[in-house]
Amino acid sequence: MLKLFSYWSNSEFLKSALMENIVQAHLYRKFCEIYYYRNKYEIDCIAGNLKVEVKAGKPYC
């Protein structure tokens, strides 16, 4: 779906957005319900008792 909207809007999407979308899709299939929450710290997705933050890029050393 992300590639479709990217093509339609003639823009590129970030690799991190694709990874986040994949994780959210899998959580939705498993839990049938997902939520999003943002406060002082960002949490991309909440499903059941899981709080998931997806990061892409180099890990901090």
Q: pLDDT tens digits for 4-17?
A: 888 889 988 888 78
pLDDT at residue 58, as a whole number: 63
Q: What is the pLDDT of residues 14-39, one digit of tens each?
A: 887 888 888 999 999 999 999 988 77
pLDDT at residue 26, as a whole number: 94
Look at the chain and count its residues. 61
Give the tokens for residue 44. 């991309």
pLDDT at residue 31, as a whole number: 95
Q: Cα(12)–Cα(24) distance, rounded to whole angstroms?
A: 20
In angstroms, how far is CA 23 from the centroid of its own chain?
A: 6
pLDDT at residue 38, as a whole number: 79
Confidence label for 61 from pLDDT (cuts 50, 70 and 90): low
> Which residue in the block uniquely carries the two structure tokens 């957005």?
17
**Among the listed residues 49, 47, 54, 51, the one whose alpha carbon sits nearest the alpha carbon of residue 32:** 47
Q: Cα(53)–Cα(31) distance, rounded to whole angstroms?
A: 17
